Structure 1
Amino acid sequence: QCPACEWPNCKAPATHRAPKGRLREREYWQFCLDHVREYNHAYNFFAGMSAEDIARYQKEAVIGHRPTWKMGMNGGRPTSRSHSSRLHPEFSGADDPLGIFREFGGPADARRASERRLSEFRPTRNAQRKALDALGLEADASAQEVKTRFKALVKRHHPDANGGDRSSEDRLREIIQAYNYLKSIGFR
């Protein structure tokens, strides 16, 4: 037994389905062949959407409208607000739902160990070596050590800290340039 066509004033058998529209996925009208053709000819999934919404929908369609996140060294899974808020502020960017790193001092220790391993294999460029020398650091210095040393040297050589003495102004300029270079190559 085939249901009747849902088109107004039509009693023909409804042998075809037609989508009811956006935000009503998996819901269908039951139409006869003539009315399903007419409906499909006039159907516009994007009706009522702005150009930006249409572009966003089309872009997200490429990945099946699923969430994504960056991969690689600076990527990782997005953490839920509730889980990251339970962590110490230093660990707020880390996600260790299984507690694997807990016995080793938490995610920060694992991150430091990973940075150390990467620095062993990371080739040091001449400019990078010179910048680290300007800050008085070794090639295997961590990003935190670079930042700490930079702050200490700026405090020491800044004219405001020396009572207006401008004799170490060139050294200060060298320190700032070295730090800016290290930041520009991603040494964070």
Structure 2
Amino acid sequence: MCAKPGCEEAGEFRAPVAPPRGGGEGPGRYRWLCLDHVREFNSGYNYFAGMSPDEIHDAQRPLAGWERETRAFASTGGADRPPRWADFADPLDAIGARFGERMRAQAGRKDGKPLSGRDRHALDVLGLEADADRTALRRRYSDLVRKYHPDRNGGDRTHEARLRAVIEAYQQLKGSPAFA
């Protein structure tokens, strides 16, 4: 209910009873008013009523920290120096392992034959290493086709998308210079 005496409307709007004094954090005490009474309250509300000029100045003062002098930038082109990797501790090897995976994924073949991005993706689909030869490619393709083909699974077609991906990957690698 509205906090105004004699009002029967629902009190949906919050209005302060008095502004917080003494630098307290958070809002001061408040009451709930109906729309008409909160409009009346807002039209006559003065946060600084009853404050001395010094109290008003303190209330309007910028937040602490803005008055401090800013520190100078480092002499490395206006930016701080990044931490040295030697000083960084990675006990779970989270960064090193991720870097190692990326380096392995981008590694070339030992025989020097080039691999395109599509070739690398096809190798991942077939589950082959970058250094696999043509014999390993044929053997892996044959195993996966037997595994996913509906004739070998009693007519079950749930693996059809996987079979299609295996066939596309084999076709990509079969024509690749790395497997020529």
TM range (shorter): 0.3 to 0.5
Bigger relative contact order, structure 1 or 2 (CA pairs below 8 A, ≥6 apart): 2
Q: TM-score, normalised by structure 1?
A: 0.36
